[in-house]
Amino acid sequence: MGMRVIKTAAAGLAAIYTAIYLGLEPSLSAGLIAILGVEVTRMKNLKSAFIRMMASALGLLFASLIFVLFGFELWTLSLFVLITYPVLSRIQLKDGIVTSSVLVFHVFERKEVTLELLGNEIMLLITGLGWAIVVNFLYMPKEEGRLSALQKSTARQFSVIFTEMAHTLRDPAHVWNGEQLLQADKDIELGLLRSDIDRENRPWGYERYWRTYFEMRRQQLDSIQQMLVLIAFVYEKVPQGELLAEVFEQLAEEVTSDVYLGIAERELTLLEERYREMPLPASRGEFEVRAALLELLHELERFLRIAKRRKKQKAE
């Protein structure tokens, strides 16, 4: 049984008892409105309550005019639907159509339009939506644990990817199925989704760290995919590839850190200087491989710039 089901049951029951205490009729409708009003996040709950309130107010207004002018006939209900539903959809209140219809059908059942009856319907609405908001604000599961687990999983996938890249540079015949790429992409997208849920559950005092972190990882994953394209052109073993493999091995350790260490960046800068001091390629094949390695080095620099710009910095 999920927490949302428990909250929905609690809100519905509390709304019914409150309606009975206040003498609202039919009291069960307050429970129905509360059930409709419980949302997955606090912010969505507030937006939903506003939409349902506005839609219900407009629905009652249109229905009252129709019933007063044309009477309480079955065809006037169809007229209400034909007029009201398109209007509510046009003004972005379509999520409140069902709630509005519940109240309008009560008015139709009573076959009268009075201030007392309309007040009763508005109070049913406030009671149901009010309890939905109260229950959602009393308790909402925290996302910190899930986000932290996704962060660690993403870092582990990146670490394995860089280890495999280093292996490939040392042995171009090495075969790797790339499953960590798929898992990393899944973790990042889920992390972005969870960070949005966390933001909507904390409209005040929200920290942007998680959203920033997973956006960074998504950009870095794009960079990794470009690196893999370049590694495919490294079809023979060369000394320059082995040197670059050492940087990837360092990065495989560094990528799991919560802060930017900068060790791989310094090693990459030194390696670029060593590349300039090495003899020119002796064959076309060596030239192609070393050209791919140089592009790979620059792509790795881009990966590290993303981390340096968006990751937490190590305290001095």
pLDDT score, position 39:
84
Can you give the pLDDT at residue 203? 64
Provide the pLDDT for residue 220. Answer: 94
The answer to whether the CB of 13 falls within 8 A of the CB of 109 is no
Q: Give me the pLDDT at residue 206, please.
A: 58
Both structure tokens of 71: 């009477």
Q: Exposed (0-12), middle (13-18) or buried (19+): which is 25, by Cβ within 10 Å? A: middle
313 beta partners: 260
Q: How confident is the model at residue 289, as a pLDDT?
A: 83
- Helices and strands: H and E segment counts in the chain: 12, 2
Task: Return d(Cα 80, Cα 86) in angstroms, integer.
Answer: 10
Beta bridge partners of 259: 312
Q: How many residues would you count in the chain? A: 316
pTM over 0.85: no
Note down pLDDT in tens along the chain; length 316 residues.
477 788 889 999 999 999 999 999 889 999 999 998 888 888 888 888 999 999 999 999 999 999 999 998 889 989 999 999 999 999 999 888 999 999 999 999 889 889 999 999 999 999 999 999 998 888 777 778 899 999 999 999 999 999 999 999 998 888 888 899 999 999 999 999 988 888 877 766 556 788 888 999 999 999 999 999 999 888 888 888 888 889 899 999 988 887 777 788 888 888 888 878 777 877 887 788 888 888 999 999 999 899 888 666 654 4
DSSP assignments along 98-120, one per residue: HHHHHHHHHHHHHT---HHHHHH
Tokens of 63: 């229905």
User: What is the reported pLDDT for 267?
Assistant: 86
Q: What pLDDT is recorded for position 156?
A: 94
Structure tokens at 93: 């209140």
Rounded CA gap, 163 and 197, in Å?
33
Closest CA to 59 of 95, 4, 97: 97
